[in-house]
Amino acid sequence: MTRIPLVADNAAADEARTLLSQIHGAFGATPNMFRAVANSPAALKSLWGSFGALGGGVIPARLGEQIAVAVADRNACHYCLAAHTALGRKAGLSVEEMAAAQSGESSDPKTAAALRFALKLVNERGQLGDADVQALRAAGFDDEHIVEILAHVALNLFTNYVNVAFDVPVDFPGVKLRTAA
């Protein structure tokens, strides 16, 4: 059972109600994670705005979803793992590609470099060295891409923490974790 109420559309504050309506329109339903965050209209605005901003960035949706499942698996976030596996499949990734991403792996060297970087950010709590950034540059990422990779990781940490800390019920098809947090 969730540790914080899931806000119903009709019970949400005005600003949150408007955002929940947009979210419902985007997904065809209102995922429980957004209902939990709707307890704070400011937090919901930040979360939804971040998804929109990064969705229009230079990192393709496929890579964004691979980063999301790698971070979710590392943080043992069942909710985000399930949600982003479904979104990754919708973005055209195979079951095998999504499973590999959970472990921070990819057969594509550029994607593999991004996933290694993302997981190092998580594992080392952002404590990186020059060589870590240089490895991304060597893989073909420019500074805009590198900053967006970090932004994807940060957004996913926020959503992982929401779902794990508040025990938000998963409303996407479940996916088995590969690693322990």
124 and 101 together in one domain: yes
For residue 16, what are the domain limits?
10-55
77 and 157 together in one domain: yes
43 and 129 together in one domain: no
Residue 173 inside a domain? The answer is no
Average pLDDT of the segment spanning 169-178: 90
Place of tokens 């309506």: 21
98 and 152 together in one domain: yes
125 and 154 together in one domain: yes
Domain with 90 in it: what CATH number? 1.20.1290.10
Residue 176 inside a domain? The answer is no
Give pLDDT tens digits for 30-88. 999 999 999 999 999 999 999 999 999 999 999 999 999 999 999 999 999 999 999 99
Residue 137 inside a domain? The answer is yes
33 and 100 together in one domain: no
Instruction: Please state the pTM of the whole predicted model.
Output: 0.94
CB 59 within 8 A of CB 91: no
- Per-residue confidence band for 158, with pLDDT thresholds at 50, 70 and 90: very high
147 and 85 together in one domain: yes
Count of the separate structural domains present in the chain: 2
75 and 149 together in one domain: yes
